[in-house]
Structure 1
Amino acid sequence: MKLNYRIVIFALAITFGVVFSIPSLLQTEGGKKITLGLDLQGGLHMLLGVKTEEATKSRIKSITASIKHFSERNDILIDGLTFDEGTIKFEVLDSDEIAKVQEYLKEIDGAVVSLNNQIISVSLSPEEIEKTKKLAIDQAIETIRNRLDQFGLSEPVVAKQGEEKILVELAGIKTQEEEQRARELISRAAKLELMAVDEDRAARVYNMSASDAAAYGDVILEDAKNPEVKYLVREIPILDGGMLTNANVGFDQNNRPVINFKLNAEGAEIFGDFTGKSVGKRLAIVLDGKVYSAPNINERIGGGSGQISGNYTVLEAKDLAIALRSGALLAPIYLMEKRSVGPSLGADSIKASLIALIGGFVLVIIFMVIYYRAAGVIANIALIANLFLLLAVMSLFGATLTLPGMAGIVLTVGMAVDANVIISERIRELIREGKSMHKAIEDGYANAMSAILDANITTLIASVVLYAYGTGAIKGFAITMSIGILASMLTAILGTHGIYQMLESKMMKSKNYKFWFGIKGQ
């Protein structure tokens, strides 16, 4: 027997497979492990709806804030800047500036601009409204997925269903507290706005109605800690969370959790300009329509950073920071359907799948040994190595194992030995033709290679397509199939060839074709 590079690589692959699959097989405390999907360990299934019409209102409000900043930045005097659900209106006091304003408005995607005397109206085209609604759904899916990833759940399923629905499946949610926390994180709008307090009328806020405030271009907002406390703020925000780049949990001088946030370059510029000309006034930090703090501006604040303080726990602050980092939802979402999936189904599914896996594995091993003798034993060694490699790679990447994924493993057992069947048959054919043992083995691998590669590559392409366009359980099936195919090509082609080369001298001496390949030689 002699070592060769193939057998060394095969031995390293087996070692890798055993070492990294042990945490999953033995469920040790340390090490990376395969996580079970919703259908195997239970969890939460939700169907969410998206209020897409709110996305259009939010877009109009954001454009209004941009127009206000543009006019102030360029010293253009405008009056009566107001907006409703679909239209922004304002008057340009200097007619010479109208062309400049119109030029700016042309840069806004989908804006429909009309001029009547010196009053400009801005609305969104029907195509832009539909585009905004579609974007709200796509953004909601991405935002929810980002939040859940940062929440710590492994591979949550977040997918579009129909036109305006979102399917969310969370594996491992077992307690009411975990469910409530996940639901709050998903549904939280996390809309951050920095709004100017109307200092001229702030003292009258408790004697004003919403319509009275609207007449002055203001809105009345509640304090987040105490709903009895009211603030009168300008309806058009200084800037919003769309300019947020980061948010992290910190602690104030009293060791209470706060959220430190940072703005992008545009936001930092707007923030600096506003604070520079508003010294002595207050700036309200508003999150989801509630005022978390309204500090006095003592000096110009550069750098584009700020802080949100509130009466919340470290865990609540962490979830809020996650929501802010992942971005505000363009449109509110609401729960349409919810059901909890119990782990009993998972236990039954795992048991049935294990029986199928072990049963299929044992039958394949028995067949290979009976039919191919020593060659069957070598193929079975490659099959075992393939399973260990599959589990190791899935564990290393923290992959989620679903019921279809387990079906993929069962199917991989059959596919992994298929390459060895093709190779063994080619070798047997050449031996029957009178070729020497060495020639039969080398030519057998060479002749079988194209068939093995064609079969595996086409199956791999199908698996990649399933993963790219599938969702949830389909992705789990595609992942296990892809890893299994790649592992089988390593073990079946490289590994078994290395074993044959190592044993070749012994095989040549014995010339016992019946023992080695289950046939009679010439």
Structure 2
Amino acid sequence: MKLNYRIVIFALAIIFGLFFSAPSLLQTEAGKKVTLGLDLQGGLHMLLGVKTEEATKSRIKSIAASIKHFSERNDILIDSLTFTEDSVKFEVLDSDDNNAINEFLKDIEGSSISQEGQIVSLSLTDKEIIRTKAAAVDQAIETIRNRLDQFGLSEPVVARQGEEKILVQLAGIKTQEEEQRARELISRAAKLELMAVDEDRNARVYNMSSSDAAAYGDVILPDVKNEQEKYLVREIPILDGGMLTDASMGFDENNRPLINFKLNAEGAEIFGDFTGKSVGKRLAVVLDGKVYSAPNINERIGGGAGQISGNYTVMEAKDLAIALRSGALLAPIYLMEKRSVGPSLGADSIKASLVALIGGFVLVICFMVFYYRLAGVIANIALVANLFILLAVMSLFGATLTLPGMAGIVLTVGMAVDANVIISERIRELIYEGKSMHKAIEEGYANAMRAILDANITTLIASVVLYAYGTGAIKGFAITMSIGILASMLTAILGTHGIYEMLESKIQKSKNNRLWFGIKG
């Protein structure tokens, strides 16, 4: 027996497979492991709808706030700034400011501007409304995914369904408390707004209706701790959470949880300008339509940092910081369908899949040994190595194993041995033709290579297409198939060839073709 580079690479591949698959097989605390999907370990399946019409309203409100800040910063006098669900309207008091206002409005993408005298009206074009609604769904998908990643769930599935629906699958959610926490984190709008308290009329807030407040350009908001306590605030916010760059949980001087937040450069500038000219007044910190605090402004606040205090638990504060940090939802979402998958169903799926995997594995091994004798044993060594390498690669990348993924592994077992069937048949044909053992092995591999590459490359292309265009379950099948194909090309072609090279002299000396390849002569 002699060593060769092929057997060395094969041995290293087996060591790699054993080392990185061990944490998953032994379920150790340390090391990266394969995570089980929703169908294998249970969890939560939800179908969410997005109220995209609210995204358009939010966009209009943001434009109104920008116009207000621009006019104040440039000493442009405007009056009667109001907005509806699809337009903003205001009056320019000095005609000399028309050019400056129009130049500013031109930069607002997707807007249509009209002017009658000094009354300016801005609305969104039909194309921009469609784009805004589509962007709201895309942003909701990305925001929900970011929140769940920071929540600590492994491999959550968040995908678009149709035009305005989102599929969410959370594996590992087993208790009612975990489910409730995940649902609250997903659905929380996390819309932060800093709004000026209307100090001139706030004392009369309890005697005002919503329509009375709207007549003054105000809105009535409740206090987060006490719904009976009301605030009268300007409807157009000073700034919103779109200018937020970071949020984290902290503690006040009494060791109570609070949220620290930071604003971007534009937000810091607006915040500094407002607080500088509003000393002695109050600024309401509003989150999802409720006032968390309304502190007095004692001096100009620079640096673009602030705090949100409230009656939180530590867990609530952490989740709120996650929601703020991952971004506010442009449009509210609502639950359309919810389905819980119990761990017992997952256990049954695992059991059935393992029966199929082990049954197929044993049958393949028995057939190879019965039909090809020692050549079948060599093929089986490659097959076992292939499974370890497949599991190791999936563990290394933290892949999620689903039921279709298990089916992919079962199919990989058959495909992995297929290459060795082709190689063994080519070697047997050449032995029948009277070739020497060395030539039979070398030419057998050379002749089989084209058929093996054709079959594996075409299957690999199909797997890539399935991964690119398939949903979560199909992706799991495609991933296991792709890794299995690549691993089988390493083990079945390189590995077994190395073993034959190492044992070549022993095979020649024995002259027992029946023992080695299952043929007479």
Corresponding residue for residue 147 of structure 1: 147
Corresponding residue for residue 286 of structure 1: 286
Larger deviation: 295-304 or 5-14?
A: 295-304
Corresponding residue for residue 196 of structure 1: 196
Corresponding residue for residue 52 of structure 1: 52
Is the Cα–Cα contact under 8 Å of residues 43 and 169 in structure 1 kept in the other structure?
yes
Aligned partner letter, 1:360: G
1:459 is the counterpart of 2:459: yes
Q: How does 1:207-356 map to 2 (within 5 A)?
A: 207-356=207-356
Structure 1 residues 268 and 429, CA, compared in 2 at 3 Å: closer, same or farther?
farther
User: For each residue in 1:37-91, what CA deviation from the matched residue of structure 2 results, as whole angstroms up to 9, or x when unmatched?
Assistant: 1112222121211111111111110111111112122222111111011111001
- 1: CA distance, partners of 2:309 / 2:444: 72
Instruction: Please give the secondary structure, in 1, of the residue aligned with 2:30.
Output: coil
Instruction: Please give the secondary structure, in 1, of the residue aligned with 2:99.
Output: helix
Q: When the two structures are superposed, what TM-score results if normalisation uses the length of structure 1?
A: 0.96
Larger deviation: 266-275 or 53-62?
A: 266-275
Corresponding residue for residue 3 of structure 1: 3
Structure 1 residue 403, shift from structure 2 partner:
0.9
Larger deviation: 175-184 or 103-112?
A: 103-112
- 2: CA distance, partners of 1:123 / 1:251: 44
Corresponding residue for residue 433 of structure 1: 433
Instruction: Please give the secondary structure, in 2, of the residue aligned with 1:168.
Output: strand
Corresponding residue for residue 14 of structure 1: 14
Is the Cα–Cα contact under 8 Å of residues 42 and 341 in structure 1 kept in the other structure?
yes
Corresponding residue for residue 500 of structure 2: 500
Moved over 3 A (4+): none
Larger deviation: 82-91 or 452-461?
A: 452-461
Corresponding residue for residue 101 of structure 2: 101
Q: How does 1:358-373 map to 2 (within 5 A)?
A: 358-373=358-373
User: For each residue in 1:122-179, what CA deviation from the matched residue of structure 2 results, as whole angstroms up to 9, or x when unmatched?
Assistant: 1111121122111111211221122112111112222222222222222211111111
- 2: CA distance, partners of 1:124 / 1:314: 42
Structure 1 residues 298 and 439, CA, compared in 2 at 3 Å: closer, same or farther?
farther
Is the Cα–Cα contact under 8 Å of residues 157 and 471 in structure 1 kept in the other structure?
no
- 1: CA distance, partners of 2:74 / 2:438: 85
- 1: CA distance, partners of 2:205 / 2:75: 30
- 2: CA distance, partners of 1:59 / 1:66: 11
Structure 1 residue 319, shift from structure 2 partner:
0.9
1:384 is the counterpart of 2:384: yes
Larger deviation: 60-69 or 9-18?
A: 9-18
User: For each residue in 1:86-107, what CA deviation from the matched residue of structure 2 results, as whole angstroms up to 9, or x when unmatched?
Assistant: 1110011121221221222122
Larger deviation: 381-390 or 391-400?
A: 391-400
Structure 1 residue 477, shift from structure 2 partner:
0.9
Where in structure 1 are there 5+ consecutive unaligned residues?
none
Is the Cα–Cα contact under 8 Å of residues 87 and 121 in structure 1 kept in the other structure?
yes
User: For each residue in 1:359-412, what CA deviation from the matched residue of structure 2 results, as whole angstroms up to 9, or x when unmatched?
Assistant: 110111111112222111111001001111111222222221111111011001
Is the Cα–Cα contact under 8 Å of residues 60 and 88 in structure 1 kept in the other structure?
yes
- 1: CA distance, partners of 2:250 / 2:501: 62
Instruction: Please give the secondary structure, in 2, of the residue aligned with 1:232.
Output: strand
Corresponding residue for residue 481 of structure 1: 481
Structure 1 residue 506, shift from structure 2 partner:
1.8
Aligned partner letter, 1:166: I
Instruction: Please give the secondary structure, in 2, of the residue aligned with 1:259.
Output: strand
Is the Cα–Cα contact under 8 Å of residues 56 and 133 in structure 1 kept in the other structure?
yes
- 2: CA distance, partners of 1:4 / 1:453: 23
- 2: CA distance, partners of 1:302 / 1:496: 70
- 2: CA distance, partners of 1:29 / 1:283: 49
- 2: CA distance, partners of 1:382 / 1:509: 24
Q: When the two structures are superposed, what TM-score results if normalisation uses the length of structure 2?
A: 0.96
Corresponding residue for residue 125 of structure 2: 125
Aligned partner letter, 1:267: G
Is the Cα–Cα contact under 8 Å of residues 190 and 323 in structure 1 kept in the other structure?
yes
- 2: CA distance, partners of 1:435 / 1:261: 78
- 2: CA distance, partners of 1:458 / 1:263: 52
Larger deviation: 73-82 or 267-276?
A: 267-276
Structure 1 residue 298, shift from structure 2 partner:
2.8
Larger deviation: 146-155 or 184-193?
A: 146-155
Figure out how many residues of one structure are paired with residues of the other and give that number. Answer: 521
Aligned partner letter, 1:297: I
Corresponding residue for residue 173 of structure 1: 173
User: For each residue in 1:472-505, what CA deviation from the matched residue of structure 2 results, as whole angstroms up to 9, or x when unmatched?
Assistant: 2111111111111111111112211221222222
Corresponding residue for residue 68 of structure 1: 68
Aligned partner letter, 1:440: A
Instruction: Please give the secondary structure, in 1, of the residue aligned with 2:173.
Output: coil
Corresponding residue for residue 35 of structure 2: 35
